[in-house]
Structure 1
C-alpha cells in the first residue's frame, strides 16, 4: 500500500464484504489496566482506506466456465422433489455433474498451460484437485446409501482415484514386459506392486508378480494362490458379517502359516509383502513406507486388518494414523476437512470448506446437495450451518461483477428470509452504464416482482436524462416508473421549459405519449401535457377546427398551470 500514513504507523485490514478487504493505517498503543497488566489496543491513525477485491475467480475465463456450469446444475437441483423415492439418485447425478465440471476445468487449465508454456493455473489446479477429492469422499460416504459395514469398498474407490499414477506405471510395466524379468528392467517394480496391493488391486498385483524373473518358483506360486483366494466382503457376496469374519481369519491364518514355514524366505521383498498382509495387528511402520498420507495409511491398514469396519469406527483409526504422520499439529485445512468427513461431522467439514480459496463455490454447492439429501445436522447451535448466509455471501460476490449479476440472483432467490431484500439492495447498486443495462435490470426486477426496484431505476435514468437536458428521454423513463409524483415533476419541467422559450418549435413529446391510453391519467400534469401534445398534432395536420375545440376545452378546464396560461393564449391567436 503506497500511503504515507501506512508507512509510518503500519497497516491492518477488515473484511468489507465477501471478497473485499479494507486496508488502513493503525498504531498499537500500550494500555495499562488497573491490575497492572499491559494490554495493547489498535488505534486508527487517519489517512485513506484502500479497498482490495479478490476478483480472479470471476475474471478468469477458465473459472467462469465452472461458475456457469455449476449454476445450471444448482438451478436443476432446486427442482428436486424431496418426497419422491428416486430423489436421492437424482441428487447423486447432480453431484457427479458438479464433479464433472471440476474435472473439465482442470483439464482445460492444463491444456492452456501447455499451450502458453506457463504455470498460470498451477495453484488453481491444486485447489480444484483438493475440492474434487473432498467432494468425491463426501459423495461416497454421505450421499450414496450403503450398509454401515461396507464402508471400506467406498474408501478404496476414493483412494484409487488419488493413486491413478499407479495404474499408469503398472500399465507401462505390463506393456513393456511381455516376458519375465520386469523387476530387472523397471527399478520401480516393487514399489508399484506394493502400491497396487495396498489399494486393493489384487488382480493387477498378481499380474505384475507373474512378470517377476522368479515367477515360476514356489514362493511366487504360493503368493499367487493366497492372493487369488483373499476374501472380499461386499453386499452381494452372500455372507453375513460373522461368516465373512470367520473366513477372513482362516485366510489370515493360512498366510501366517506359510510365512512361518519359510515359504517366502528366499525372496525378502516377497516376504515383506506377505508379512504386510498376514499380520493380525497393523504394522504401521511397514504400511507407512508405501503411503504418503494418513488417509492412505488408514485405508490400506483397514484393508488387511478390519475389512468390515463400521463407519462410526473410522475416527478411531484415523486418529491412530494421524499420530504416525506427526499428529494433528501437522494437519492442513484439506486434512481437517477429510477428517471431518470420515468422522461424519458434515457441519464441521462445511465450515472448513468455507476457508477454501474458491470464493465459497464448493461450500455452497456441496451444502446445497447435502441439505436436499437431509444429511445436515442443525439440531444444536454450535453445529448449525447457516446455509442462507452462505447463499447470500456467494450471491453478493457474483452480483459484484458486471457479468454475473444475473447468475447471483438465482442464488439469492433461494434465501427465504433475507433473499428478496438483498436482491433489492444489490440490484439498485448495479451501475447503470447504458439504457440496455438498465432495461435488463428492470426486466429481472419485474421477473421477481420487485416493483420498487423498477420504479427507482426508472427515476435514476429519468434524472440522468434531465441533467443532460433531454426532457423527452426523462419523460419516457418517468412513464415507465408509474410514480405519480415523479411523473408530475417531469411533466411540469417539460411544460415550464416549453413556456419559457420553446413556443416557436415542436414540443417533441408526442412520440412518448402516443398509445398510452389511461396511463396518462397517472398525474394531472401528464394528462394536460398529453392533451396539449394532441392539440399540436391536430394543428400540424391542418385540422384547425378540432385543434381549436381541444384548445378551448383545455383553457376552459383550468387544468393548465398558471405559468402556462399565456402560452395557451398565444396558441389561440393563429386559430
Structure 2
C-alpha cells in the first residue's frame, strides 16, 4: 500500500509534498522505512527518499528566492547531495559582496571550508579583473591566497619601480596599504612601505611643521640608503630628495658621515651607469 500511496502522491502533488509525505509513510512502519531508504542500483545507487529530495532541491535551486533553502535538503542526501551542494554554492554570482557573504555563511554552516576558500578566490579574481583592486585584494586576503598576493605585490613593486615619481607612487599607495608589508616572498613590499614613510615624513619636513619631523626624515633616508634591499633604481630619486634636506633652514640636517654616505652612493651610481648591463 505504501508504494501505491507514493505513486499517487507523485502523480497528484508537487515535489514538496512528495518529499515530506515519505516521513509520514515511514513513521512506525519498518517495511516502508526499508523501502524508502534502500539504495537502488537503477537510481544510481541512491534511495527513493534521496531521489525525491534531490528533485525538490533542484526545484528550489532554480529560483533566486529559494536557492538558499536547497542546502537543507542536499545536505541530508549523503550519496550525491554534498557534491551537488558544492556545485550549487560555487555557481552563485560573485558580483555582489552581500550574496558572496551569504554563500560563505552556508559554507561555514555545512563545514565546506575548501568551497568557501575557492569562492573567495573566485571573487578576488573577478573584482581584480574588473578594476576593483582593493576589493580583489580583500578577498585574496580572506582566502589566505599567498600565491596571488605575492604576484600582485611583485607587480606593484615593478610598476612603482618603473617610475618613482611622486604622482605614480600616490597612484598605488592605497593598494600598498591594503597589501601590508608581510606578504612572504614579496620582499619589495617592506621597502615600499619604508619608502612611503620617508615620502610622508619629507612632505611634513618641507612644510616646516616640526624640527623633529625633519630629523626623522633624515633617519628614514639614511636607513633606506644603507639597506641592501633598496633597489638601485630608487637611489637617484632618494638622492634628489636628499638635496631638499641639505637646503633646509636654519641649520643642516645631515652630519658629515651621512653626507659622505650619500656622496658615496652617488659615485657608485655614476660608476654603475658605465656598465653595459646597467
Interval containing the TM-score (normalised by the shorter chain): 0.5 to 0.7
Is 2:88 the counterpart of 1:426?
A: yes
Per-residue deviation, residues 275-307 of structure 1 (Å, max 9, x unmatched): xxxxxxxxxxxxxxxxxxxxxxxxxxxxxxxxx
- How far off its partner does 1:488 sit? 2.2
The answer (yes or no) to whether the contact 2:27–2:33 under 8 Å persists in 1 is no
SS in 1 for 2:22: helix
Is 2:67 the counterpart of 1:405?
A: yes
Q: Which residue of 2 aligns with 1:466?
A: 128
* Moved >6 Å (runs of 4+): none
- How far off its partner does 1:439 sit? 1.8
- How far off its partner does 1:479 sit? 0.9
- How far off its partner does 1:511 sit? 4.2
The answer (yes or no) to whether the contact 2:154–2:188 under 8 Å persists in 1 is no
Instruction: Classify 1:377/1:483 alpha carbon distance in 2 versus 1 (closer, same or farther; 3 Å).
Output: same
Q: Which residue of 1 aligns with 2:217?
A: 544
Which residues in structure 2 correspond to 1:59-208 (within 5 Å)? none
Is 2:231 the counterpart of 1:556?
A: no
Q: Which residue of 2 aligns with 1:365?
A: 20
The answer (yes or no) to whether the contact 2:124–2:136 under 8 Å persists in 1 is yes
Tell me how far apart the structure 2 counterparts of residues 546 and 458 of structure 1 sit (CA, whole Å). Answer: 41
- How far off its partner does 1:413 sit? 1.5
**Higher share in helix:** 2
Q: Which runs of 5+ in 2 are unaligned?
A: 202-212, 243-278
Per-residue deviation, residues 323-358 of structure 1 (Å, max 9, x unmatched): xxxxxxxxxxxxxxxxxxxxxx22443244334452
Instruction: Classify 1:385/1:467 alpha carbon distance in 2 versus 1 (closer, same or farther; 3 Å).
Output: closer
- How far off its partner does 1:425 sit? 0.7
The higher radius of gyration belongs to 1
Per-residue deviation, residues 188-242 of structure 1 (Å, max 9, x unmatched): xxxxxxxxxxxxxxxxxxxxxxxxxxxxxxxxxxxxxxxxxxxxxxxxxxxxxxx
Is 2:2 the counterpart of 1:346?
A: yes
Instruction: Classify 1:351/1:462 alpha carbon distance in 2 versus 1 (closer, same or farther; 3 Å).
Output: same
The answer (yes or no) to whether the contact 2:134–2:178 under 8 Å persists in 1 is yes
Per-residue deviation, residues 416-441 of structure 1 (Å, max 9, x unmatched): 22222211111111122411111221
**Higher share in strand:** 1
Q: Which runs of 5+ in 1 are unaligned?
A: 1-344, 559-564
Give the alignment's Cα RMSD to 1 decimal. 3.4
Q: Which residue of 1 aligns with 2:51?
A: 389
Per-residue deviation, residues 68-90 of structure 1 (Å, max 9, x unmatched): xxxxxxxxxxxxxxxxxxxxxxx
- How far off its partner does 1:531 sit? 5.8
SS in 2 for 1:414: coil
Instruction: Classify 1:504/1:483 alpha carbon distance in 2 versus 1 (closer, same or farther; 3 Å).
Output: closer
Instruction: Classify 1:412/1:539 alpha carbon distance in 2 versus 1 (closer, same or farther; 3 Å).
Output: same
Is 2:189 the counterpart of 1:529?
A: yes
Instruction: Classify 1:507/1:366 alpha carbon distance in 2 versus 1 (closer, same or farther; 3 Å).
Output: same
- How far off its partner does 1:552 sit? 5.5
Q: Which residue of 2 aligns with 1:438?
A: 100
Q: How many residues align?
A: 217
Q: Which residue of 2 aligns with 1:509?
A: 175
Tell me how far apart the structure 1 counterparts of residues 116 and 223 of structure 2 sit (CA, whole Å). Answer: 35
Tell me how far apart the structure 1 counterparts of residues 67 and 47 of structure 2 sit (CA, whole Å). Answer: 25
Per-residue deviation, residues 501-557 of structure 1 (Å, max 9, x unmatched): 52354521254246x9xxx45x422x643663354146425543564476468x535
Relative contact order (C-alpha < 8 Å, sep 6+): which is higher?
1
